[in-house]
Every structure is written in C-alpha cells, then in structure tokens.
Structure 1
Amino acid sequence: MSERGALRVRLDRLLREIAKFGLVGGVGLLVNMAAFNLVRHTTELPVVRASILATVIAIVCNYVGFRYFAYRDRDKSGRTRELTLFLLFSLAGLVIENGVLYAATYGFGWDTPLQSNVFKFSGIAVATLFRFWSYRTWVFRALPPDPDDEAVQTAEAILERAEALEGEPSRERERAAAPRHR
C-alpha cells in the first residue's frame, strides 16, 4: 500500500469515528434539548438549573452510546479509569455548555424560551468540540495497532526505508525515494 493509500485508510477511519460520534451526539442532543424544555416548562426551576439537569441526563445517555457503539472497539481494560475521565471531561463540557447559557441569561437578560433554546444549543455546539477531542484522546483510547494490519506493515516499511536512506548520498536518496513503476 502506498503512502497515499495509508493516509486514505487513516482518513476513512477518522471520518467513520466522526460519523459515529455525531450519531451518538445527535441522540444526546435530542435527549438534552427535550429534557431541558420539559423541565423548563413543567417546573419552576431557573433556566440554568434546568439546563444542568438536562445535561446530566444526556451525559448518561451519551456514555452508553459511546461505550457500546461509537468506541466499542477501543480499549476496555480500565473501565474505572475510563468512567472517571468521561465524567471529568463531561463535567468540563457541562460547564462550557451552561456557561454560554448563563452568560446569555444573566449577563444579557436573554431569557425567552426561544433565546434559551438558541443559547443552550450554542453552548452544546461549543462543548461538543471539546468533548470530541477529550473523549477520543483521553477516555476511549485506541488499542495498539494490529501488527498484521496491512496499513501498519506499509507504514513500518516506509519508516525502515527512510532510515536506510539516511546514510546514502542525497542523489541516491532521491532516486530510492522516487515511486517505482512496474
């Protein structure tokens, strides 16, 4: 497999991961917004407290979706560590998400149902970027590459070839690095 092919495989994996994350996140978004509006319109809770409660419900829903769907192929050996990190990063996302709503509601006085929903959604969007990065980097870590994987073998061959060329004169290095046509 060429370098371009290996890059294509990595890009395809990332796009599949983003799609799965988006699907779970979309369900979480629906749960979050539905719970927020239900609590907001059926109780006397202030807007930010209603939002925090809805966010907690969505966090539970999202963990199940991420662990058993989006990241089911990831390392499962340290569930306590995973859950602790998930909750820690989810709490940070909760602060980001509800900080936007808090600023809009109490800083600018934007508290109509439409404004609350717009800023709740905006907060979720900002927090989602943070959550995607933190979950994939720290919580649901990728397993070490399979040594039998063709892409891994290609990458290792490229690295070995580059290391072998380091000692050769530059013209030889260019000739050896040029693609070979059969």
Structure 2
Amino acid sequence: MTVVQSVLRHVPEPLRRVLIKHRELLKFAIVGGTTFVIDNGIWFLLKFTVLEDKPITAKAISIIVATIVSYVLNREWSFRTRGGRETHHEAALFFLISGVAVVINLIPPWVSRYVLDLETPHVTRLVQETADFLSGSIIGMLLAMFFRFWGFKRWVFPDELGHRRRELTVVADGADGEEDLGHS
C-alpha cells in the first residue's frame, strides 16, 4: 500500500471522492507548495546577500531553480499518467511554458518596484519587503501557477498522449491508476 493510499483511508468518504477526482490538481498544488518554499528561500537568500540591489534578478534565479525542481516532481508524480512524448520534447515544452510563466510571475514585482515606486527610499524597508512578497510571491506566483497548470495539462502532459504511460503505471503499480490518489 502506498503512502497516499494509507492517508486516504483516514479521510472521510465524501472528501476522499473529491480528492481522488481532482488528484492531479491536488498533486500539482503540493508540488507548488514545495517549489514555493524553494523559490522564496532562494529569493530571500539572494535578495538579502549577493543580489541586494537586484531583487528582480534574484527572483528570476529563484524561479528558475524552483522550475527545475517542479519539472521533475510534476513529471514523475503530478502528471505521471499523462504525456507520452519523448523526454526531450516534453522537457522543451515544459520549460517553454515555464519561461512564459516566469515572465508572468515577474510582472507584478516589477510593477511594484519600478512603476509604483514601492522601494526604498520612497517607502520604508518594511513596506518594500511586504510589497515584494505580495507582488512576487503571492500575486505573480498565483498568476503563473494558473497559467502553468493550464499549459502543462494542455500541451506538456496531454491526456490523449498518456495512454502508454498509464498502461505502464498500471502494470508497475499492479492496480487501476484511477482508484487511488497517488500511484506512489
């Protein structure tokens, strides 16, 4: 029995059905939470040390690192039964969609800093950091997340190409891939 299956056994039936029905979205959200921590950890580390004068560059670097982690986790877990393209083609599409998402993610903090002038000396350090977090880690990340989920399902890991991967998953798991939330 997988970890996810054992956790699901403790979830009340109505909620269990919802989780199973939306398992890709749930897994995508868990991957997103993980990469959110990675993104912000690296961003703050860079922003408060070597890239103190370049917060947008620091954010871009942190998003790129988090995107690489996201690819591995989404390919091997969230969208494990989808896709079916050759790995290099799938990776190219993933990083193309993610590249657009990076731009989407960087627009709100750029507007916050350079259009609204929410940076020192125009505002206090607390206001600047709050504006950076809200614009870059909340607004920008949410916009990019919606775009990524849509783009990944549509182009990177399309369901119509997933039959081969699903068959391999069913054989490897020894069960019907639709019955549980995680396959892992």
TM-score (norm. length: structure 1)? 0.70
Match of 2:98 among 90, 95, 110: 90
* Native 8 Å contact 1:39 1:45 kept in 2: no
Q: CA deviation at 1:14?
A: 4.7
Residue by residue over 1:9-55, the C-alpha shift from the partner in whole angstroms, topping out at 9 and shown as x without a partner, is x9765511110000001101111111111100012341111110111
Q: Percent identity?
A: 26
TM-score (norm. length: structure 2)? 0.69
What SS class does the counterpart of residue 22 from structure 2 fall into?
helix
**CA gap 1:11/1:78 in 2 versus in 1, 3 angstroms:** farther
Match of 2:149 among 115, 123, 132: 132
Q: CA deviation at 1:144?
A: 3.8
Q: CA deviation at 1:101?
A: 0.8
* 2:47 aligned with 1:47: no
Q: 1:1-182 maps to which residues of 2 (within 5 A)?
A: 14-43=21-50, 44-111=52-119, 112-121=128-137, 122-142=139-159, 143-144=162-163
Partner of 1:158: none
Structure with the bigger RCO (C-alpha within 8 Å, sep 6+) is: 2
For the pair shown, which has the larger CA radius of gyration, 1 or 2? 1
Give the superposed CA RMSD: 2.2
Number of paired residues? 139
Q: CA deviation at 1:68?
A: 1.1
Unpaired stretches in structure 1, ≥5 consecutive residues: 1-9, 152-182
Report the Cα distance in structure 2 between the residues aligned to 1:24 and 1:124, rounded to whole angstroms: 13
Residue by residue over 1:46-77, the C-alpha shift from the partner in whole angstroms, topping out at 9 and shown as x without a partner, is 11111101110110110011011111122334
